[in-house]
Amino acid sequence: MENVINIIGAGLAGCECAWQLANHGIKVRLYEMKPNKKSEAHSSDNFAELVCSNSLKSMLLTNACGLLKKEMQIFDSLFVEAAYKSQVPAGQALAVDREIFSKYITDKIKNNPNIEIVYEEIKNIDELEGIKVIATGPLTSESLMQNLSRKIGEESLYFFDAAAPIISRDTINMDIAFWGDRYTQERGRNEDETEWRKRIAQYKEADYLNLPMNKEEYETFYNALVEAEIAQLHSFDKREIFESCMPIEIMAKRGIDTLRYGPLKPVGFTDLRTGRRPYAIVQLRKENKEGELFNLVGFQTNLKFPEQKRVFRLIPGLENATFERYGVMHRNSYINGGKLLDNNFCLKKDNNVYFAGQISGVEGYVESAASGLMVALSIIAKKEGKKIEFPDDTMLGSLAKYISTENEDFQPMNANFGIIKPLDRNIRDKKEKYGELAKIAINSIEKFKEDNF
């Protein structure tokens, strides 16, 4: 058996896995098909490319994804390190400059002496000797997906994911847009207008730009959105759309007020033009550190490009917006982890094959990198002659348990407190409850590390 660990795919999961193994003195051969071949959604030649949003979700420990990042940080995660090195303001969320983020990880991987990089598309995993980690992500090539389907049967599934448009800052109408985070800019019930305006004048550059809409403006936008022409999807057998990445035009068709209770929720804001809460509000988040680019928060879409320009320019403040990247919908592939994998992300039918990233059945940037970390730890333990079990009172362990538990309606899963081991007592206050769960998880993962690594 060859002593080198073969990792296919230099995305978030593959890079995190390679980094963890290499830093434990294990030789890694990392296969990446870019730049020779790119998927329909990739554009950069760098590793760990963020295709959709640039947000890595909350930094708070009372948030499941915030806790997950903290657990990863305990294991010196490259993903978390790169995120903080490339951070851009986004309130309580950890958003990154995606170019700096991916370049940071790429440079770290390329300069690690224990990692050999092979720029080649792997079409048949059986041609590789020894341990193999499939970390090809949601955009696994058709050739490899066919090979995997033959190996694992017809349990392979896939759904579609969508990305939001990115616009140029200097084309936003700042006479309408205003800076502010939810609730920080809202006028108090008994607050004098002069004092309110004086208070909010400090928000020269908060984390979000906000575009308020009145009822007439919203309904004009809404009617154009639901009638707009949608781009043709690629001809795959299934066309399932994962709920957390629902295109805005599909969400809108659920009802005229759906968006106002979702991404266009106006709660916590006051329209500077009227002194009243807007009917709806569109938020823009910085896409890079310089603040030259902004993405439309919650505006994942599959509209045709000319339709995106026409419809989204109906939003007050975006009348002359320049689109630096249009929203796109692309294929997301994953396997039925509950049937196929154990809680070490190892294929039950072949203990030399591991899956990491979204193809394994986790959903999200942080979760993908976390699965790469867990696969690496599993392989490190395996080389020492043992099989580890991630504690189920941690967010890492909860994800490992979820993807290895059989479920007839298996769907990709984000980190959430609903899958973690519950408390042995009832705490009604949600924030207090999550804080207690986080405290237990951090203690548990630290002990797990001390006992095993």
Q: Which residues form the domain of 196?
A: 166-327
Residue 100: pLDDT over 90:
yes
pLDDT digits (tens, 9 = 90+) for 307-347: 999 999 999 999 999 888 888 777 678 888 888 999 999 99
CATH number at residue 173: 2.40.30.260
3-state DSSP assignment of residue 241: strand
> What share of the chain in percent tops pLDDT 70?
92
Q: Is the pLDDT of residue 420 over 80?
A: yes
Q: CB neighbours of 111 closer than 8 A, spacing ≥ 6? A: none
- Asked if 173 and 105 sit in the same domain, the reply is no
pLDDT of res. 235: 43
Residue-level pLDDT at 198: 80
Question: Residues 318, 421: one domain?
Answer: no
Question: Which phi and psi (to 5°) does residue 378 adopt?
Answer: -65, -40
Of 311, 327, 343, the residue that ends a domain is: 327
Mean pLDDT computed over 429-434: 90
When pLDDT is averaged across residues 422-430 and rounded to a whole number, the result is 88
pLDDT of 208 higher than 50: yes
Closest by CA position to 445, among listed 400, 397, 401, 403: 397
Q: Is the pLDDT of residue 113 over 80?
A: yes
Q: What are phi and psi of 120, to 5 degrees?
A: -155, 140
Residue 4 has pLDDT above 70, yes or no: yes
Query: Cβ–Cβ contacts within 10 Å for residue 36, how many?
Result: 10
Contact, 97 vs 86, CB < 8 A?
yes
Answer yes or no: are the C-beta atoms of 62 and 435 closer than 8 Å. yes
Q: Which candidate, 138, 46, 57, places its Cα nearest to that of 101?
A: 46
- Of 265, 295, 327, the one marking the end of a domain is 327
Q: How confident is the model at residue 238 (pLDDT cuts 50, 70, 90)?
A: very low
Residues 395 and 314 in one domain: no
Task: Select from 310, 285, 304, 305 the least CA-distant residue to 296.
Answer: 285
Residue 236 is predicted with a pLDDT of 40
Same domain, residue pair 303 and 395: no
Residues of the chain above pLDDT 90, percent = 59
* Phi and psi, residue 354, nearest 5°: -120, 155
Q: Which pLDDT score is estimated for 112?
A: 97
Select, from the ranges 140-144, 168-172, 195-199, 238-242, the one with the highest average predicted confidence (pLDDT). Answer: 168-172
End-to-end CA distance of the chain: 24
| Residue 1 reports pLDDT greater than 50 | no
pLDDT band for 237, please (50, 70, 90 cuts).
very low
Asked if residue 336 and residue 213 are part of one domain, the reply reads no
Residue 242 has pLDDT above 80, yes or no: no
- 274 pLDDT exceeds 90? no
Q: Same structural domain for residues 182 and 322?
A: yes
CATH classification at residue 387: 3.50.50.60
Whether the pLDDT of residue 377 is over 90: the answer is yes
Comparing 15-29, 130-144, 200-214, 233-247, the range with the smallest average pLDDT is 233-247
For residue 152, the model assigns a pLDDT of 83
Q: 29 and 77 share a domain?
A: yes
The domain boundary, picked from 327, 342, 374, lies at 327
Q: Are residues 94 and 119 in the same domain?
A: yes
Same domain, 290 and 427: no
pLDDT at 170 over 60: yes
Q: Check whether residue 195 and residue 155 sit in a common domain.
A: no
Q: What is the mean pLDDT of residues 369-392?
A: 96
Same domain, 392 and 307: no
What mean pLDDT, rounded, does the chain reach? 89
Residues 304 and 338 in one domain: no
pLDDT tens-digit readout, 34-64 = 887 766 666 678 999 987 788 999 999 999 9
Query: Does the structure show a pLDDT above 80 at 117?
Result: yes
CA atoms of 379 and 401, how far apart (whole Å): 17
Most confident of 80-89, 198-207, 227-236, 415-424: 80-89
Number of structural domains in the chain? 2
